[in-house]
Structure 1
Amino acid sequence: MAKLEISVEYCASCNYLPRALWMAGEILTEIQFDVARFDLVPGDMGVFEWSVGGEPVFSKSAAGRFPDLEELKEAIYAKLE
């Protein structure tokens, strides 16, 4: 099984880093051995976008809200199958 490459772009000026780090920690605690790379990318304009292998799995701008941790986990874990 190929290991995942996960990326989260977060709004630095909005102070979204703590939320991104918390979610990343929760996810990595469970699947750290299945992850090849995890990138935290500072952005702006309210961005909070998660992708796996370059494919979006959650977009705050599209959803109009932050992800629930469980829905984010499900979207990422689905990429392991």
Structure 2
Amino acid sequence: MKPVVYITYCPKCGWLLRATWMAQELLTTFTEELQGVQLQPSEINGAYKIYVNDTLIWDRKREQGFPDIKVLKRLVRDIAAPGKPLGHSEG
């Protein structure tokens, strides 16, 4: 079964737009490799976490910020599609 990316975000912080943009970027890059991207509003203030299946790959509080989209794509690729070239976005 293909992996699913989960983006948990704080709606009170106004991060829905960021989460949808990241979901769009991932779905565009990993068209064949992902089953989907699920957005999950969190009740925890300031939460922004990204998982591939059950593996946490980014926590805004731990990492002190949001991932650059190139970094996020590499993290997802390493789990969902090892070896897939990311082209210009890999830079």
| TM-score using structure 1 length | 0.91
Once the 2 structures are TM-superposed, how far is the Cα of residue 74 of structure 1 from its aligned partner?
A: 0.4
Q: Secondary structure at the match of 2:50?
A: strand
How much has 1:37 moved relative to structure 2? 3.2
Runs of at least 5 residues in structure 2 that lack an aligned partner in the other structure: 83-91
Partner of 2:87: none
Is there any run of 5+ residues in structure 1 with no aligned partner, and where? none
- 3-state DSSP of counterpart to 2:30: helix
SS of equivalent residue, structure 1 residue 20:
helix
Q: How many pairs does the alignment contain?
A: 80
Higher strand content, 1 or 2: 1
| Counterparts of 1:5 and 1:51, CA distance in 2 | 8
Instruction: Please tell me the residue identity of whatever aligns with 2:76.
Output: I
**More contact order relative to length (CA 8 Å, sep ≥ 6):** 1
Larger Rg: 2
Q: Which residue of 2 aligns with 1:72?
A: 72
- Please give the per-residue CA displacement for 1:33-68, whole angstroms capped at 9, x wherever unaligned: 211132100013111100001100111010111111
Q: Which residue of 2 aligns with 1:49?
A: 49
